Chains A and B, each alone.
Chain A
């Protein structure tokens, strides 16, 4: 029996592996994959929170979604927030990281100053910015008055409310992206810069032609992290505007919450949740195909 013993060893090893994975798998199945399957199932039904009956609707929820103007508005707001905030935050983070990479005096202080917003709970950050943005006594309006600009009730103005939340998001996340980019910059061989500098390449060209290509895998990674963090806009909308004024800040996560928890319409809210997953999944796929191919890896 030449294969008997190895087979038994392999069997025992596999058994042990499944045993070690079991705790994670139970929770992964119950709180990540089951909810997703369930939300697909719910989207074809009329489900009311707290009511055990569910009624088959076929594609009715999707038909309703297609005709729902508020859904399209929330989707538009979500797209607008995502595609502007993430690139702006990444550019800010990149400039911070490049500036701090030059072994500057006081580097630790700058780094903390840019990074600390990451430590602040979203609810506290949102609240503080409500104060900063407030009309009349708000510091931002007071500052604008000093230079002769008119007052704006930022969060109560339907054209400014969403950009106001976006500015706050850039403040909140740039420091996190900066740290990740700093780690990547440290890995760029300094003789490359030295050689380029001796050839008379300008600082800006060095950034575009040496730094960016070499840290592109990290930029790509930061973009994904940014996309996943952009979900958190729910917290800011909930705390700062509650979707208003006139749904100017209503985003998909918040619209799901409204339908599910305020109107108890779990079926329709599930339909929206599926669209949100498709949207984020689609964005990741687009980023993977557009940027994934252009990404350079050191030493490959």
Chain B
């Protein structure tokens, strides 16, 4: 009896101790994970000579904010930003249309060849652009799309992954709701628009966030299909700047990096819950 009482009494202490021990491990690990970001920020505010001087210390002597305008003036980052928005927005808009239509068909309609077609959609996940870039480049070249914004969009218009996610969500919508709407005279399109889409908003948002993060950061495909400033996106512009600088001016390069990575990081900090939930549950539904 006494031993049980002491055990109960000491439990919060044990829990606190165990958690304290976890912090001892987690704090250094988190700092290690954050250190590249810290180095980007600190280096972007240093003088060029400070970077190469081992005796200069970790913090900059003077905060050199002028590195930012200097970085932005070497390349047309405004154009890159607009292109990034157009390409990412274009992919997102096109995908939302294609996956909504396809997911409805797979979730609620019966037709011959359904399983085979669904398999074709699912298998697309196994063939990302990194596996098909070569012959896709030949196709895009034949279509005369090279060096244009559509070239960066077309390979991503259909999304097997998005179709799968949305189909799972549609299947969880009670059929009674659709039946009620049908009795009210709604057709399939009306039911899809008025009943299904409003109910699967969380899934649409989750998919949207994942798509935006993926394609905002895309590097290989835009690199292959663009060769002029007018159509380049932010990551491509950053890569070019790195190449032309080749380590000569890390301060300017890091300032440009801050500019390129901050839109998503700021959105992430502001909408943390949404981002985390999207990535957390994307694969599990």
Interface residues of A (CB under 8 A from B): 10, 13-14, 16-18, 20-21, 23-28, 30-36, 38-39, 42, 49, 96, 99-100, 102, 104-106, 108-125, 127-132, 134, 136-137, 139, 142, 171, 175-176, 179-180, 182-184, 218, 221, 225, 228, 231-232, 234-235, 238-239, 253, 256-257, 260-261, 266, 269-270, 273, 276-277, 280-281, 284
Contacts and interface: CB of A to CB of B under 8 A. Distances in A.
Interface of B: 18-19, 22-23, 25-26, 29-31, 33-37, 39-40, 43, 51-54, 97-99, 101-102, 104-105, 109-112, 114, 117, 120-121, 124-128, 130-139, 154-160, 163, 188, 213, 216-217, 219-220, 223-224, 234-236, 238-239, 242, 247, 250, 253-254, 257, 260-261, 264-265, 268-269, 272, 276, 279-284
A16 B257 contact: no
Nearest to B282: A180
B257 A21 contact: no
A112 B276 CA distance: 9
Given A13-B110, A21-B105, A175-B33, A105 B19 contact: yes
A30 B19 contact: no
Given A99-B25, A117-B33, 12 more contacts: A23-B101, A31-B155, A32-B127, A38-B139, A119-B261, A124-B238, A125-B36, A137-B51, A139-B39, A179-B276, A221-B284, A232-B130
A99 B26 contact: yes
A31 B279 contact: no
A122 B219 contact: yes
A245 B202 CA distance: 47
A132 B36 contact: yes
Q: Is the interface of A mostly helix, strand, loop or mixed?
A: helix
Contact of A24 (B99, B125, B242, B284): B99
B120 to A, nearest CB: 7
Nearest to A187: B284
A124 B257 contact: yes
Nearest to B99: A24
Nearest to B259: A124
A14 B114 CA distance: 10
A23 B121 CA distance: 12
Contact of B111 (A13, A218, A257, A284): A13
Contacts of A38: 135, 138-139
A261 B264 CA distance: 31
Nearest to B159: A24
B131 A276 contact: yes
A273 B134 contact: yes
Given A27-B158, A36-B127, A235 B219 contact: yes
A157 to B, nearest CB: 17
A260 B37 contact: no
Contact of B213 (A20, A118, A124, A257): A118
A117 B234 CA distance: 17
A122 B128 contact: no
A99 B22 contact: yes
24 contacts: A17-B114, A18-B105, A20-B104, A31-B139, A39-B132, A42-B135, A102-B18, A102-B19, A113-B34, A115-B276, A118-B213, A119-B264, A120-B261, A125-B36, A130-B247, A137-B54, A179-B279, A180-B282, A183-B280, A183-B281, A231-B130, A234-B130, A257-B133, A270-B134
A206 to B, nearest CB: 13
Contacts of A27: 98, 154-155, 157-158
Contacts of A280: 126, 131
A111 to B, nearest CB: 7
Contact of A182 (B39, B133, B280): B280
Contacts of B105: 16-18, 20-21
Nearest to B40: A128
A180 B253 CA distance: 33
